[in-house]
Structure 1
């Protein structure tokens, strides 16, 4: 009987979109390039297109705020609210909500790394080695910035340049309609 209940709950969550049908547990392995040879060992090691820890893409701003999981929310424009994280993620990630839903998680630190082992501080050549044909270099619409983009369905991993040295300075994940569009068009405001 218990097994039937678990199957029913998993089916309902999948159909409701709360759990992606093709979601698999993240394997916590060491990054695959020598630049980031530290093994992933803490709860703040992995940032994926699904989010980071309790900060899941699509999560409600109101729910996270009520749980004390965000700090310093600032409304910008076009229904976008930017905020910091609390707890073990404080100072590690920044969050963007659009119309009350989490659409982007951004970091300028290493860790966290992507499930493939990519992160801040690597070169774009390192990313090409890690992702191969799954990713590509892109430019913004103005042609003034370059980033490395990895698509995963309707979500993306985006690695943008560093302002004073070559390589990755920021790593963002979230919905392509927000993250990629924000990079290509220069922001929502």
Structure 2
């Protein structure tokens, strides 16, 4: 298995992003089970209903996250354009010129959007689906990813924290599967620009 040097701070950044996703987007648990009280609530239109929908019951359109983005959330789109289209739920400041935002519609509570300098650079999730086009996603082990991607992927390691992630390069973009802070395996899956996500591009950068 290929191993790359993984700069200190990336794993901590991934954990921070995961925390932001859970707080900002009010994610459904990984198991996809809706809260026990959900059946007692009246059905309403809009994002709140989507958040109560188990991942397995969501439309096929929300089942894939790739280096191009997810659904209407395409890498490179502007935050202003997505907001004007009614596709942004909330926005919170990140590090430096980074902003994180929640999605609306069928993607509400499913993905976290990362913008740098006003442009979408990464889309992430802590649930499955969505999965990558190859079928990889949250909940899998790194051995699973190795079997799926083979020589296309590499395990990257933070020598300071001991945390790991699995990186797949696709042109100038990447899929990054970060480990779970508590249990073994993938806890967060991001896809987007390698200049933002790839550990080698982060050397000397705070975020």
Structure-1-length-normalised TM-score: 0.74
Aligned to 1:9: none
* Structure 1 residue corresponding to 2:107, chosen from 68, 82, 89: 89
Deviates more, 1:134-143 or 1:84-93: 134-143
CA RMSD of aligned residues (A): 2.3
Which protein has greater RCO, CA pairs closer than 8 Å, 6+ apart? 2
* Structure 2 residue corresponding to 1:105, chosen from 104, 109, 123: 123
Residue 61 of structure 2 aligns to a residue whose secondary structure is: coil
* Structure 2 residue corresponding to 1:115, chosen from 110, 129, 133: 133
Could you list the per-position Cα deviations for residues 76-103 of structure 1 after superposition, in whole angstroms to 9, with x for gaps in the alignment? 2321111011100001000000001000
Structure 1 segment 36-51 matched on structure 2, within 5 A: 42-51=60-69
Aligned to 2:189: 171
Shift in Å, 1:139: 1.1
Aligned to 2:76: 58
Aligned in 2, Cα 1:166/1:186: closer, same or farther, shift over 3 Å? farther
Could you list the per-position Cα deviations for residues 124-180 of structure 1 after superposition, in whole angstroms to 9, with x for gaps in the alignment? 000000001000101136353100000001100000101111000010001111112
Aligned in 2, Cα 1:162/1:77: closer, same or farther, shift over 3 Å? closer
Shift in Å, 1:59: 0.5
2:144 corresponds to 1:126: yes
Return 5+ residue gaps in structure 2 as ranges.
1-55
Aligned to 2:43: none
* Structure 2 residue corresponding to 1:180, chosen from 180, 198, 202: 198
Q: Separation in 1 of the partners of 2:90 and 2:185? A: 29
CA contact (8 A) 1:45 1:113 kept: yes
2:89 corresponds to 1:71: yes
Residue 177 of structure 1 aligns to a residue whose secondary structure is: helix
CA contact (8 A) 1:141 1:184 kept: no
Aligned in 2, Cα 1:47/1:82: closer, same or farther, shift over 3 Å? same
**Count of aligned residue pairs for this structure pair:** 151
Deviates more, 1:94-103 or 1:76-85: 76-85
CA contact (8 A) 2:194 2:201 kept: no
Aligned to 1:23: none
Structure-2-length-normalised TM-score: 0.67
